[in-house]
Structures are given as C-alpha cells and as structure tokens.
Amino acid sequence: MAVQHHGTVPFKGMSHLCLFGENRADRFGRLFPQLPPLYLNPTLLHDIGKAGGVMEDTGLPNLTKNVAAGLIFFGQFVDHDITLDASSSLRNNNEPGEITNVRTPSLDLDCIYGDGPEAHPYLYDGHKLLTGSDYADASDPDDLRHHDLPRSAKGTAIIGDPRNDENRVISQLQLAMLRFHNHVYASVHSEWEEARRVTTWHYQWLVVNEFLRTICGDWVVDDILANGRKVYRPECDGSHGAYIPIEFATAAYRFGHTMIPQKMRVQPGGTQHVLFSPSSALGRGFSPVASADGVVDWESLFDSGNGDYERAGQVDTKLASALLDLPFMDPSTPAFERSLAVRNLLRAQVFLVPSGEQVAECMAASGAEEITASDIAKVREAGAKLGLPKATPLWLYLLAEGRVIGRMDGEKSFSKGEGLGPVGARLVAEVIIGLLELDHRSFMGSNRNWSPLDSADRVGSNGVTSIYQMLTV
C-alpha cells in the first residue's frame, strides 16, 4: 500500500497512523505521520546523555570557524517566539495534536509585544516598551537597572515570555529587542502598529538572510526559496494553517544545545564566564543583573567587522558539561532529568518521533536531492559508535550529520561542524520559511520586495542589515 507524501513514499507504520489527526495552528503536529516511531530502552538513553557519558565535551572546545556564539542565543530567542509546550510530560506518551502551543506559530515577536498595550499594559509606557531604565535612578548612570529588563520588586522579569530571562545572554537579547522597537517608534514610525511592523519585518528578514544562511547553508536556503518547500507544506496536506511540527520542536531545532560553549566572553577583552553558575558574572538565570561584568556588549558575541568575537561550538554529538547537569534545577531532581541531552532524548521518545534514518529516507523520496543514501549510511555509522543498535534518535542523527557531513555551502561544498547537515538544514529552514510564507502579516506573506533598505522603513542612514546592528542600534 502506498501514500502520497509530496511524492510517492513507502507507507510505513499504518498501525500508528490512526492515532494522528489533522495538524492545527494552535497545536503541535506531525510532518511524518506515516513513519513508525522509534523506541529505545530508556536506560540506554540515560547512559548516552548522562553527565560523564559519551556526549559530554571533556576536552578543549571544538569551535566553529566563523559562527558567532551570539547567533545561537538568537536562535533560542526565535524558538521562544514560535513555540511553548507547557503541558507535555516525560512520563507519558504525548500526542502532538493534543498539546497546545502557547506561542503563535509565526515570527511575530509576541514574546516582546504580548497582546499589545491594551491587553498587556504592564509591558508598556504608552506605546513604548518598558525597560529596566524606566525603573532606574535617572541621575545615576551606574545603576545596573539601566542595563536590565524591567523587574518586579522580587526580581522577576516583566516580559512577554519568562523563558527570555533563563540565562544572561538571552535576557540581554530581549532587552536589546525592546530597545530596537523603542528606537523604531521614536525615529521611524510614531504609530505603534507601524513601529511593530517595521521592527518585526527587520527581525524576520534577518532570520532568513543571516540566521538561516549561517546555520543551514546557502545552498539549502536558496533551493527552498527558488524551488519551494518539499516537506513542510501545510497548505497542501489539509492542515489548518501553519503549525509547529513535533520533529522540529523535539529534535531539529535543538541543534543549538551542542553549539553553546562552556565559557564565553560577553565584553571585548573581558574574562570568559561560565554560562550557568552562581559564582559567574552571568549568574544562574532568572535574576537581575548583579555586576557590570554581566552586561553583554554584542561586539563580543557577534561579528562587528573586526573579526574578534566568540565562536559557537561545532555541531556534533557533544554538549558542554554544564548542560548535562543543569545547575538551576532542584537538586532533588533525578540526575538523568538534570541532563538536557537525556531530556531531549526522552521527550522525542514520548512524542513517538521516528528515527533519523527513517526521516532522512522519507525526505529523500520526497524530492530533497541533497540527501543521499551514502550520507545516511555515514550518519548511521556515527550513531552506532554511540551504542545505538539499529537506528538513531532524530536529534542525535541531526547532530551527527552536522559533524560527519556538514553544512551545505554549495552543491558539492560542505563545512563539517559549521552548521546543520542536509536533513537538519532542510527541516529547520523549511519550517521557518514556511511560517513566514503562510503568515499574511510577515514581509514574505505581505511584501516580498521589502528589505531593511526600503526607504520608508530604513532604520539609520545605512539601514539595519545584520543582527549585530539590530541589537546595537
């Protein structure tokens, strides 16, 4: 028996298909409902992802050649803009169609704006977004609140998504985005809706033209933009508009976990700090800026043009030790649940996600010509070295693919470890580009001729054409 899946694909896992309904915009959904879910002994997953296990990066960090460390936190910010699962469990199987996505599946910056000044007035002073400076002593330039998010008396950040305070870098990025809106509102458009549009369109344009091109490679991004999406096509599969695929949420878009370095400078010439540590200037997260050393200067995390910036870690199957024993979790939490790697592996399993090999073969059959049988075999070999018997969890498959195949910079040009391999790149780029194309409010859904150099919306004399410029305007 066969089913049409953007091309003829073998119909596998029919016994599971009856569990899955149509994908909805307010729920998570499935890209590959016809594929059987992978099951691995959870004790094996615990062993692979535990602190001190095969995934811990114990040697010198393997850093990329030219991927800015700040770009990985920007990717985390994008994730918080489009997904929030607040109800699934690691202890029960979960059906994506029954799990509410608390965020909207569109790059609309609702994590910045909430539902607007009327619905969420505590985020605003009129049509201006509040920052820590609104609570600081205006006569004291050394008041650290000038460099922080707005906070309650107990130190809780007053923002649209609390996750954007979970580490110092993402917190400072949230602050920079608040400031960017305020700059646009003051200097370009004095109407809130127009200021939001200009701010959001700049952000969306940079997601496609800097973030995706760096992480996924020019070849895959250009192929999607020229020849269309081959896998993520809600407009063709009966879905109720754009949605977030569970394969994206639990696997493909978790690539950044392996690219976060154990230590990094957040100021030019400054000391390298551990990201999660109460003794570090960066703190443990969810707390006010406590030291001037913890204020991020974006020149240290993005390329400002001088080439002196912190690099992200390579895409591989290694994670910084801090991520395998998360220090901000309750010490009574079982050790395996304090490991981000184990949590990722268990989460995909309870969502019945298929193996990386199954997904890769299905995508190749759907017309993704860059995915080859020989490459799938190379990645499978890497999975076997981790102790996986027959198949590789999708998240691990995509990490291994980034290391052994590499980012596709040209039709026959690959950069190992510099970004996602062909399967991961297409999954990530198709979903994000699809979310933009299916949103009539986005620049791609509304005016595909727009760019940051549009004369009516230009921010600054030369326009804002890089993430670094947006964060430092």
* Confidence check: pLDDT of 21 > 60: no
The per-residue pLDDT for 212 is 98
Task: Name the least confident of 116-130, 329-343, 350-364, 386-400.
Answer: 329-343
Q: What is the average per-residue pLDDT within 218-224? A: 98
Question: ∠ CA 9-11-16 to the nearest 5 degrees?
Answer: 135
% of the chain surpassing 70 pLDDT:
95
The per-residue pLDDT for 237 is 79
Confidence of residue 17 (pLDDT cuts 50, 70, 90): very low
Pairing of the two strands 2-4 and 8-10: antiparallel
The per-residue pLDDT for 230 is 96
* Confidence check: pLDDT of 186 > 80: yes
The per-residue pLDDT for 4 is 41
Task: Name the least confident of 67-71, 231-235, 240-244, 446-450.
Answer: 240-244
Q: What is the average per-residue pLDDT within 29-41? A: 97
**Which residues, other chains included, contact 194 with Cβ-Cβ below 8 Å and sequence gap of 6+?**
none
Distance CA 75, CA 71 (A): 6
Does pTM top 0.95 for this prediction?
no
The per-residue pLDDT for 189 is 79
Confidence of residue 10 (pLDDT cuts 50, 70, 90): very low
**Phi first, then psi: what are they for 366, rounded to 5°?**
-85, 0
Domain ranges of the chain: 2-472
**What are the CA-CA distances from residue 442 to residues 243, 309, 435 (Å)?**
15, 31, 9
Three-state SS at 408: strand
Fold classification of 2-472 is Myeloperoxidase, subunit C (1.10.640)
% of the chain surpassing 90 pLDDT:
85
Write the pLDDT tens digit of every residue in 59-83: 888 999 999 999 999 999 999 999 9
Confidence of residue 9 (pLDDT cuts 50, 70, 90): very low
Specify the amino acid at residue 305: G
Handedness of CA 77, 83, 84, 88 (dihedral sign): negative
The per-residue pLDDT for 311 is 97
Identify which of 108, 117, 164, 171 has the alpha carbon closest to the alpha carbon of residue 144. 171
The per-residue pLDDT for 7 is 40
